[in-house]
Amino acid sequence: MRSLRRLQPYFHYLWDQRRTVPAAIVYGAMYAATSGLGLPTLIQYVFPPIFAPGGNLDTMTVAMVAACIPLAFLLRAITGYLNSYYTQLTGVQILEAIRLDYFRKLQVLPLSFVQNRQVGDLISRGLSDTAQLQQAITLMANDGIKQPLTLVMAIGYLVWQAFAGEGVGIVLLCLAIIPLAIFPVRFVGRKIVKRAQVLQAQLGSATSVFTENLAASREVRAFGLEQQQTQRFGALTRGLVVSQMKIVKYAQALTPAIEVISASGVALTMFLSYGSGISLDAFLALVGALYFAYEPMKKIGALNNELKRAGASLDRLEVVLLEPISIADPETPVPVNRLRGELAFSDITFSYKTGDPVLHDVSMRIPAGTVCALVGPSGAGKSTFANLVPRFFEATAGRVMIDGIDVRAMRLADLRRNIAIVSQDPVLFNDTIYNNLLLGRPDATREEVIAAAKNAFAHDFITAERDGYDSIVGERGVRLSGGQKQRIALARAFLRNAPILILDEATSALDSESEAYIQTALQSLMVGKTVLIIAHRFSTIRNASLIVVFEHGRIVASGSHAELHAGNALYRGLYDRQSGMT
């Protein structure tokens, strides 16, 4: 019951399938009636007249009685099939809904939530754990109705026999033995839940290693890590086998345990029936009813095991499903169209972890149309500062404002429509070049897409591809060079034409020819925009009208290059060190 209550908040998935669930229940009830009540009745009331001593039934009557047997089993088979069909249909649709809800929740959680977790483990939760939850809910919809009904029908038959006055004591004894099957069910359930938690966690780790290996396939071959990676993954899979077999050991022990209890009940019933005067047909009917009482107990025990495993999976899913959405639209958003781009940071503090701030009391005003470079040592807070503007992260304290409006007062869609981002390693989706460009502004015309590609110096290499703009770029743009991917990202920024532009060292990983193209494109792209340049190389800040120096999460200086080089030791040291290397 505790496992059932654990899953109760998620039974709304069953309600969403209210067209298929009732059909599964009705056919399950019919199956239960034909099994738990119909077959014992056949044994006691249909068969005996045929084989009674001195029986003089005519051939037609015998044929009609005999026909009841296949008809009963045909009805049982049809209702069982339809019950299984509608149950599976329900299960598939539930699985789709659970996975979609999980995936949808990941889309709205802060970047910090995703970045602090292994990608493979999140994938495992979304695929394996949702499948386990779906299986439990589906079984609950099927066996949770069909098996208890079968059990009730069988017990009802036994009770009926008790009231009929034939072998009352034996019938009551049969009923008393049934609860003994609960003990192995409870024992096995406790053992399985602990091992299921370990198994699901191990499966997440294995998926994470698998994902990491595929993402680093070039490095694995370059450093000769094939054997090492295989051994690493093999160790994880061996652990999975051990955990799976521990679950199998207990789960498979349940059926034999209940069967032994059932056989003991039958044997005891037969022993006591010997001197009680019960007829053979009545005895066989009792045994049949007893069998149909114990069979559901096995199925209910298996269902209990699935519910235990689902509880372990649900613990992992709820890490995502119950995570508060800390970055969301306000209840009454301020209407926003195109912004001018004036940025103001007021007493900003931000922490990824409680008590460990990355930014400390940062205040800064950046006028609209300013090209602002953010410089400082690695880990000084530059990227975090820029990521607060589109609300990828939420300030722990203080306010970020654009044109005097708190970014938390705007709809996320309105805010981010006014921001374009070009990162050091742009991500392309496994789709056509055209569709990847269209991400910049989905309602753009084809002419506008081509114009943006030309502005980013991407049109020529695109048209040189065999399928032109309809060429598939591969996963993460693997079929394009780094410079080509960067120009696609720039074209998206041109297409978006947002008043605020964030450049995260957009040229640092390029060859000189590609960098020259992109620098030229950037000159055009930055005109009239508020630009934040996260600078790791000082050669990229020569167009900046304002330079902000970060150290240990604080702004320690700001101004022009000449002012900072003359008056700030940290900036001068960073600049001279890089200049001496070139």
Please state, in angstroms and rounded to a whole number, the distance separating the CA atoms of residues 96 and 174.
44
Domain covering 343-581: architecture:
3-Layer(aba) Sandwich (3.40)
- pLDDT-derived band at 80 (thresholds 50, 70, 90) equals confident
Residue 543 near residue 511 (C-beta atoms within 8 A): no
What are 3's strand-pairing partners? Answer: none
- pLDDT-derived band at 26 (thresholds 50, 70, 90) equals confident
pLDDT tens-digit map of 187-244: 666 666 667 767 777 777 777 777 777 767 766 776 677 788 888 888 887 887 787 7
Q: What angle do CA 347, 352, 354 make, to 5 degrees?
A: 85
pLDDT tens-digit map of 316-357: 888 888 888 888 899 999 999 999 999 999 999 998 877 678
| CA neighbor of 75 nearest in space, from 40, 25, 29 | 29
Across the beta sheet with 397-402, what order do the strands follow? 356-366, 343-353, 397-402, 405-406
Long-range interactions of 264-271: CB distance < 8 A, separation 24+:
264/177, 265/174, 265/177, 265/178, 265/290, 265/294, 266/290, 266/291, 268/173, 268/177, 269/170, 269/173, 269/174
Decide if pLDDT at 534 tops 60: yes
Decide if pLDDT at 509 tops 80: no
pLDDT tens-digit map of 256-292: 776 676 667 667 766 666 656 666 666 666 666 666 6
Residue 366 near residue 342 (C-beta atoms within 8 A): yes
What stretch(es) of the chain map to CATH 1.20.1560.10?
2-321
Instruction: Please give the mean pLDDT across all residues of the chain.
Output: 79
pLDDT tens-digit map of 127-166: 888 888 777 777 776 677 667 777 777 677 666 666 665 5
Please state, in angstroms and rounded to a whole number, the distance separating the CA atoms of residues 333 and 335.
6
Residue 348 near residue 512 (C-beta atoms within 8 A): no
For the 2-321 domain, the top CATH level (class) is mainly alpha
> What pLDDT was estimated at residue 190?
66
SS (H, E, C) 460-488: HHHHHCCCHHHCECCHHHCCCCHHHHHHH
What stretch(es) of the chain map to CATH 3.40.50.300?
343-581
Decide if pLDDT at 59 tops 80: no
0.85 cut: is pTM over it?
no
- The residue with tokens 């502004």 is 441
Q: In the chain, what percentage of residues exceed pLDDT 70?
A: 74
Which of 165-174, 228-237, 548-557 is least confident?
165-174
Q: What angle do CA 341, 343, 347 make, to 5 degrees?
A: 165
